[in-house]
Amino acid sequence: MLFRSNQNAFIERFNKSYREEVLDANLFNTLVEVQEATDEWVEDYNYFRPHESLGRMPPKKFMSREKCTKISTYKM
């Protein structure tokens, strides 16, 4: 699988956040506990945590914005 350099940066950033906030922050006894903690963290990460790429908005709020209905008048 080939990744462009900017794709790798996003993956490494995600991996760092996951490692620090889930794996390093908890002690687990079973894989089920890891899976449960991961599920909770992923939901928070994907829906409620502000993201810089979205103007410091949480994805859930960003998704709910009204879409612009203007039609381009650009002629080719």
| Measured distance between the N- and C-terminal CA atoms of the chain, rounded to whole angstroms | 37
User: Residue 63: which of 47, 51, 50 has the closest Cα?
Assistant: 47
The residue-averaged pLDDT of 51-73 equals 73
List, for residues 44-61, the tens digit of each pLDDT value: 988 888 888 888 888 888
Partners of 51 in beta bridges? 57
Whole-model pTM above 0.75? no
User: Residue 38: which of 51, 19, 64 has the closest Cα?
Assistant: 19
